[in-house]
Amino acid sequence: MKVFLCQDRKELARLTAALLAEQIRRKPDSVLGLATGRTMEAVYARLVELHQKDGLDLSGCTTFNLDEYVGLPASDARSYHAYMQTHLFHPVGLSSERTHLPNGMAESLHNEGVGYDAAIQAAGGIDLQLLGLGENGHIGFNEPLSSLASRSRAVTLAPETRQQNAGLFDGNPDSVPPRALTMGVGTILESKSILLTVSGSAKADMLRQVLEGPMTAQISASALHFHNNCLVLADEEAASRL
Ligand code: GLP
Which pLDDT tens digit goes with each residue over 187-231?
999 999 999 999 999 999 999 999 999 999 999 999 999 999 999
Ligand 1 center to 51 CA (angstroms)? 24
3-state secondary structure of 198: strand
Ligand 1 lined by 12 (C-beta under 6 Å) = no
Question: Under 8 Å CB-to-CB from 40, ≥6 apart: which residues?
Answer: 34, 87, 130, 132, 197
User: Ligand 1 center to residue 67 CA distance, Å?
Assistant: 10
Assign a CATH topology to domain 2-216+230-235: Rossmann fold (3.40.50)
Quote the distance between the C-alpha of residue 158 and its chain's center: 17
Tell me which residue of 24, 100, 102 sits closest to 61, measured CA to CA.
24
Give this complex's ipTM: 0.94
Tell me the pTM. Answer: 0.97
Q: Where are the alpha helices (DSSP H) in 144-238?
A: 159-164, 185-189, 204-212
Q: How far is Cα 145 from Cα 147, in angstroms, rounded to an integer?
A: 6
